[in-house]
């Protein structure tokens, strides 16, 4: 069963710095560590995006921060929810701290994706249907046992509280992936550029110190035209954010396709286009041979609320996640 973080925990205690003198060491102290790292990287379990077609071009590495950006209504929360589920399916421990959505709403979205079932379909609007849904929620609770936590707070949050929560999750609960939605809920204002820079800088430091991966949801500036494809310079707030983070994804909904289909229907020449694109605009530590900044085509599976890799394919079945067997 997904668990909630107790708001009475003294998160500030986890931000106390260690003695600075102990951090100054001769270079020789790190040589063996660097050698060990080469061997551990070869043996390390790799974690990926939900869609196997992306395995050669992107992976989640410990000690990094990934920003997920998009316009309102373009699906960035749905994408990160699906990513969180896929990470649980790959054996990771996940915490979701959404300051824009109540935990019960997060759980409802996750269960829909997990089960591949639309709970609002007519067949579930009866006693028998509700019994089936109860079973799906129970299955989800069993599947996420000791694997999923949610931070129960909506609205603005103090930066030091969020940073302390992140360290607590890593140090006390063994959580390896933490989702924060969104950056603007953790700073004073959109024009608080220094506050944004300091917060992201500390997130990056904690990710490295605690050997975890932090996912940060962020908004984009309003485009001059609805159909404009975003770039990394379109992020709201401080321009330094994209410099500080390790990976940057843009979620772009194909509104031109939707508009064309509304007008032309089956005569539209955009029918075969993806419903959305996931645009990787930065991957700092990629060492593979494929394109390290891929453009990923995605299609909506309406009933499951998922994004799928190809049109017409079945939704992902997270309870028997394919990456686990294919690695």
Pairing of strands 276-283, 295-301: antiparallel
Cβ neighbours of residue 217 under 8 Å, at least 6 residues apart? 67, 68, 69, 76, 77, 80, 179, 180, 181, 182, 183
Tokens (6 digits) for 237? 């707030």
Q: How far is it, in rounded angstroms, from Cα 221 to Cα 215?
A: 20
Structural domain boundaries in the chain: 3-16+46-326
Q: How far is it, in rounded angstroms, from Cα 157 to Cα 144?
A: 26
Instruction: Give the DSSP letter string of 192-225.
Output: -HHHHHHHHHHHHHHHHHHT-EEEEEEEBPPPSS
pLDDT computed for residue 322 by the predictor: 54
pLDDT computed for residue 150 by the predictor: 98
Closest by CA position to 167, among listed 15, 52, 288: 15
pLDDT computed for residue 249 by the predictor: 98
pLDDT computed for residue 11 by the predictor: 79
Cβ(154)–Cβ(8) under 8 Å? Answer: no
Cβ neighbours of residue 101 under 8 Å, at least 6 residues apart? 77, 154, 181
Edge-to-edge, what's the strand order for the sheet holding 94-98?
3-5, 148-151, 94-98, 177-181, 213-219, 64-70, 247-253, 276-283, 295-301, 306-308
Tokens (6 digits) for 202? 């500390």
74 phi and psi angles, rounded to 5 deg: -95, -5
In eight-state DSSP terms, residue 308 is: E
**Is the pTM for the entire model greater than 0.85?**
yes
Cβ(180)–Cβ(216) under 8 Å? Answer: yes
pLDDT computed for residue 105 by the predictor: 96
**Chain length of the chain:** 327
CATH class of the domain comprising 3-16+46-326: alpha beta
pLDDT computed for residue 44 by the predictor: 66
Helix boundaries (H) for 90-222: 103-115, 127-143, 159-173, 193-210
Closest by CA position to 98, among listed 157, 29, 23, 38: 157
pLDDT computed for residue 224 by the predictor: 76
Closest by CA position to 45, among listed 287, 289, 324, 321: 324
- Ordered per-residue pLDDT tens for the chain, 327 residues: 777 786 677 777 777 665 666 678 888 888 877 777 666 555 567 899 999 999 999 999 999 999 999 999 999 999 999 999 999 999 999 999 999 999 999 999 999 999 999 998 999 999 999 999 999 999 999 999 999 999 999 999 999 999 999 999 999 999 999 999 999 999 988 889 999 999 999 999 999 999 999 999 999 988 877 788 999 889 988 889 999 999 999 999 999 999 999 999 999 999 999 999 999 999 999 988 888 999 999 999 999 999 999 999 999 998 876 544 333
pLDDT computed for residue 274 by the predictor: 98
Tokens (6 digits) for 231? 């770039």
Tokens (6 digits) for 86? 């896929």
pLDDT computed for residue 326 by the predictor: 36
């Amino acid at each position: 069963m997904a668990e909630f973080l107790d708001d009475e925990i003294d998160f500030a205690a986890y931000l106390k710095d260690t003695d600075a003198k102990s951090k100054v060491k001769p270079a020789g102290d790190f040589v063996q560590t660097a050698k060990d790292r080469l061997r551990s990287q070869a043996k390390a379990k790799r974690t990926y995006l939900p869609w196997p077609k992306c395995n050669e071009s992107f992976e989640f590495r410990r000690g990094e921060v990934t920003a997920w950006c998009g316009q309102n209504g373009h699906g960035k929360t749905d994408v990160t929810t699906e990513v969180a589920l896929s990470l649980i399916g790959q054996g990771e421990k996940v915490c979701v701290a959404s300051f824009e959505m109540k935990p019960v709403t997060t759980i409802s979205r996750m269960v829909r994706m997990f089960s591949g079932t639309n709970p609002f379909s007519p067949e579930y609007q009866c006693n028998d249907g509700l019994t089936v849904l109860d079973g799906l929620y129970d299955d989800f609770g069993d599947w996420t046992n000791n694997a999923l936590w949610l931070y129960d707070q909506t609205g603005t949050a103090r930066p030091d509280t969020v940073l302390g929560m992140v360290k607590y999750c890593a140090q006390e609960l063994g959580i390896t992936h933490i989702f924060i939605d969104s950056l603007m809920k953790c700073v004073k204002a959109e024009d608080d550029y220094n506050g944004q820079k300091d917060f992201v800088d500390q997130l990056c430091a904690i990710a490295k110190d605690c050997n975890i991966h932090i996912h940060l949801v962020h908004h984009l500036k309003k485009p001059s035209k609805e159909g404009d494809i975003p770039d990394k310079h379109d992020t709201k707030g401080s321009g330094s954010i994209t410099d500080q983070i390790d990976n940057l994804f843009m979620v772009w909904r194909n509104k031109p396709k939707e508009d064309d289909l509304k007008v032309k229907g089956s005569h539209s020449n955009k029918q075969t286009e993806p419903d959305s694109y996931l645009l990787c605009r930065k991957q700092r530590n990629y060492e593979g041979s494929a394109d390290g900044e891929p453009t990923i085509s995605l299609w909506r599976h309406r009933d499951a609320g998922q994004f799928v890799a190809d049109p017409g394919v079945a939704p992902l079945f997270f309870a028997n996640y394919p990456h686990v067997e294919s690695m």
